[in-house]
Homo-oligomer: A and B are copies of this chain.
Amino acid sequence: MPELRKDPIIGRWVIIATDRAERPDQFISKPGGTPPEKPCPFCEGAESQTPKEVYALRPHNTQPNSPGWDLRVVPSIAPFLKIEGDLDRRGKGLYDIMNGVGAHEIVVETNQHIANMADLSDKQIAKVLKCYADRIIDLEKDKRFKYVLVFKNYGKSAGGGSIRHSRSQLIATPVNPKRVKEELTGSRRYFDYHERCIFCDLIHQEIKQKDRLILDLDGFIAISPFAARFPFETWILPKKHCCDFTSQDSESFKNLGKVLKTVLSKLKKGLNDPPFNYIIHTAPFRRAKIGYWKTIDQDYHWHIEIMPRLTRVAGFEWGTGFYICPIIPEDAAKFLRETEV
């Protein structure tokens, strides 16, 4: 069983991947090299190569785990967390530990062997986004879980592996990620003083000021954040206040599909298909449990953070939380704004 261990000093939970743990000698540095490309397990017709699907968009006359689908969600073949078992939270001297219970799923975004999500249609991207919401709502029913992390690793240097088939991942966790807690605490602090959502104020200011605005389309904006950590870091935010990604209507998913396609296409065209990660930031499940229930609807605002992998992050940035961004966010925004797609 994987373990979740808590850093006793700063309170960060870490998954210790005991089940898929490597032997120490697996980490001995070896000369590089590109492994030969294997047949893709995510293409239509290769359904037997993956674990059984937990969700699919497919015509009613097709069987699960057979061809004919449009989008599929399957459990990870090498999950970081295991779906069975109890949390069994316990101490070990001064340390805290619990069983690595959770879910780890792969969203296969297309039946075609297409690598970059930017090359899917906006309608297909909208289906992927709606699928995230459906899976989050389903996983929320499991009372052991507190949060679903939805993210994409595209390109080898972004952790995307060697198979070039567009997909994303969901990890349902029994703890709230540290960054999510910090966002909730920070936006709550602002709300307590101003009685306004900090993200709403930020959107208002960015639209007015324009210099960090990448696009303003169909109810969403894309911006270079003021204190960007990475070159061309981009946030997509809904202009209408809402804390919960899953509560969008179908029109909103359709529009978000168009906006996400536009932003990813700008990154692909402008920067020559760089590796990137994105993460959906949405409110945790049972807000009452963490003491935010009173005003969560007013003080948090869901959004997507996209991080191209153009510079190597030095270790001291992980170790200190202190980042150095080698480009001015306003210049990055201008470049992306002017990249025609």
Query: Which residues of A are in contact with B by a Cβ distance under 8 Å?
Result: 5-18, 20-25, 27-30, 80, 92-95, 149, 151, 153, 157-159, 173, 177-180, 182-183, 185-187, 190, 198-199, 201-202, 205, 209, 225-229, 231-232, 270-274, 276-279, 305, 307-316, 318-329, 331-332, 334-335
Least CB distance, A94 to chain B, in whole angstroms? 5
Select which of B185, B279, B328 is within 8 A of A21 by beta carbon.
Answer: B328
Residue of B nearest to A20 (CB): B326
**5 closest A-B pairs (Cβ-Cβ)?**
A277-B315, A159-B314, A178-B321, A24-B335, A151-B316
A82 to chain B, nearest CB (A): 13
Residue pairs across A and B with Cβ atoms less than 8 A apart, 18 shown, are A8-B226, A9-B183, A10-B186, A11-B182, A13-B322, A14-B227, A14-B322, A15-B322, A21-B326, A27-B232, A27-B310, A95-B205, A158-B314, A159-B313, A159-B316, A179-B321, A277-B318, A277-B319
Q: A190: which B residues are within 8 A, CB to CB?
A: 8-9
Contact of A307 among B22, B225, B311, B318 (CB under 8 A): B318
A16 to B314, CA, bound (A): 15
A94 touching B321, Cβ below 8 Å: no
On chain B, the residues within 8 Å of A315 by CB distance are 151, 153, 158-159, 276-279, 307, 309
Query: In the assembled complex, which residues on chain B have CB atoms less than 8 Å from the CB atom of A5?
Result: 226-227
- Complex interface: chain B residues within 8 A of A314 (CB): 151, 153, 158-159, 277
In the bound complex, do residue B28 and residue A271 qualify as a contact, i.e. CB atoms below 8 Å apart?
Answer: yes
When C-beta atoms are compared, the residue in chain B nearest to A92 turns out to be B226
Give min CB distance, A92 to chain B, whole Å.
Answer: 8
Contact call B187/A17, Cβ cutoff below 8 A? no
Once the chains bind, are B319 and A307 in contact (CB under 8 Å)?
yes
Give the contacting residue for A279; candidates B92, B226, B316, B328; CB below 8 A: B316
Q: When the two chains form their complex, are residues B177 and A320 in contact, meaning their CB atoms are under 8 A apart?
A: yes
Check if B27 sits within 8 Å of A231, measured CB to CB.
Answer: yes
A23 to B335, CA, bound (A): 9
CA distance A58 to B291 in the complex (A): 60
Check A182 against B321 for contact (C-beta < 8 Å): yes
How far is the CB of A79 from the nearest CB of chain B, in Å? 11
Give 6 new A-B contacts, CB below 8 A, not counting A14-B227, A177-B321, A277-B319. A10-B182, A16-B329, A29-B272, A159-B312, A159-B314, A309-B315
Docked-complex contact A316 and B153, CB < 8 angstroms: yes
Contacts of A178 in B (CB 8 A): 320-322
B277 engages A325 (CB within 8 Å): no
Q: How far is the CB of A155 from chain B (nearest CB, A)?
A: 9
A270 to chain B: which residues have CB within 8 Å? 24, 28
Cα distance, A278 to B227, chains bound together (Å): 25
| Bound CA–CA A16/B231 (angstroms) | 10
Q: A279-B316, A322-B149 are contacts. A228–B332 as well, Cβ < 8 Å?
A: no
Q: Which residues of B contact A329 (CB under 8 A)?
A: 16
Rounded to whole angstroms, the CA-CA distance of A229 and B157 in the bound complex is: 18
Cβ contacts under 8 Å, A13 to chain B: 227, 322
Beta-carbon contact of B12 and A180 below 8 Å: no
Cβ–Cβ contact B186 & A325, under 8 A: no
CA distance A277 to B316 in the complex (A): 7
Chain B residue with Cβ nearest A11: B186
